[in-house]
Amino acid sequence: MVEVLLVLTLLAAAATAGLLAFSLMRARSAEREAREELSRGLANFSQMLTAQMGSNATVQNAQFETLRGAVEQQLGRMQQDNATKLEQMRQTVDEKLHATLEKRLSESFRQVSERLEVVHKGLGEMQTLAAGVGDLKRVLSNVRARGVFGETQLAALLEQVMAPDQYEKNVATRPGSRERVEFAIKFPGRDGDAPVLLPIDAKFPLEDYQRLQSAQEAGDPVAAEVAGKALETRVKLEAKAIAEKYVEAPHTTDFALLYVPVEGLYAEILRRPGLFDHVQRQWRVMICGPTNLLAYLNSLQMGFRTLAIQQRSSEVWKVLGTVKSEFGRFAEVLANTKRQLQTVANTIDQAEVRTRQIERKLKDVEVLPGAEEVQEDLQLEDKAVAGIRPVVK
């Protein structure tokens, strides 16, 4: 029994194994068919995809060509438009640059011409000035001409400040002397005596001053000291000559004026230690330049005006006394006039009183009959005339 069961089991197992082998074979066959089907499907899909991609590529190529052609046309038009606009801009800029350049060049040439003309005029003036400087140098190189230069400048200062009757020219200040000073200012004498003269003489030691300037510019202290000493000696000699020739008190003042016509020379004299004080103390001569001489003359002119006012003060008092007497008479005449005016006013007051009395008497007089009607008619006529009278605006 067991053997039978065992055999049956083996048979069942073999049948099962066969079924399994048959199922496996069928499965493998189905799988192989599926793979083949899948391979065919993939091949078909690949062919379709390749064809689709080819057609898409063709279409895209066509669209790209179309787009490229449109872009190229647009770019061509833009390039042409830009070229046209650039040409127009270039022409406009060229025209403006040309006009501006011509304008600037014309303006520059005009300015250059004006400057050249000014330079030409300046050169002409410089040539004239150089000629004048040469003439002045020639004039100053001559001692007599230098004296004329200083005298002319001194005369101009005196004419500017003083009146013609307040100074004299080329006058002998010392009695019995033949020496004549260039100018002398006249001071009033005492008690109607002859005027007292203030001598003024112009001196111009140009050579010594030029040697001093040349040494200072060259930086040579030894030469500058020598030239300075020579200038001091020259100024002292000129001051001594003025004192001895022209000062004679009481016919003149006890001092005189030495005029130097150049401010630089006057400043150099003041810079020399003790020179100004020595000349004034030793020889009673005061050195003046153009500026301080003008101030000194102005102060003298103010003194002359004060003296004239003092001299006329007595006449002024006499005039005031006469005016006072006449003013007393005028007060008497004014009092008489006041009395007469008061009398006239009283007479007018009496006339007003009599007028008011007459008016009161006239109020009592009766009005004539019909006088009121006549007065009303006159008033109506006046209104009618006023109504037709044109209004004046």
- Residue 200 φ then ψ, to 5°: -135, 125
Specify the range with the lowest mean pLDDT, choosing from 16-30, 64-78, 163-177. 16-30
pLDDT band at 6 (very low <50, low <70, confident <90, very high): confident
Residue 35 has what pLDDT? Answer: 81
∠ CA 360-364-367, rounded to 5°: 125
Mean pLDDT of 141-157: 69
Q: What is the 3-state secondary structure (H, E, C) of 194-215?
A: CCEEEEEEECCCHHHHHHHHHH
More confident position, 233 or 374:
233
Residue 356 has what pLDDT? Answer: 76
Residue 169: its H or E element: strand 167-171
Instruction: List pLDDT tens digits, range 217-232.
Output: 888 888 888 988 998 9
Q: What would the two tokens of residue 30 be? A: 């189905």
By C-alpha distance, which of 235, 351, 353 is closest to 287?
A: 235
pTM for the model: 0.46
By C-alpha distance, which of 154, 265, 214 is closest to 275?
A: 265
What does pLDDT average to over the chain? 79
CA 389, chain centre distance (Å):
67
Instruction: List pLDDT tens digits, range 204-217.
Output: 887 888 888 888 88
Three-state DSSP class for residue 288: strand
pLDDT band at 146 (very low <50, low <70, confident <90, very high): low
Residue 256 has what pLDDT? Answer: 92
- Contact between 204 and 261 under an 8 Å Cβ cutoff? The reply is yes
Calpha distance 145→204 (Å, rounded): 10
84 burial via Cβ count (<10 Å: 0-12, 13-18, 19+): exposed
Amino acid at 86: L
Instruction: List pLDDT tens digits, range 83-136.
Output: 888 888 888 888 888 888 888 878 888 888 888 888 878 777 777 776 665 554
Calpha distance 57→49 (Å, rounded): 12
- Residue 182 φ then ψ, to 5°: -65, -50
Name the DSSP letter for residue 137: H
Instruction: List pLDDT tens digits, range 275-321.
Output: 989 998 988 999 999 888 888 888 888 887 777 776 666 676 777 77
Cα atoms in the 13 Å half-sphere on the side-chain side of 170: 3
- Contact between 199 and 181 under an 8 Å Cβ cutoff? The reply is yes
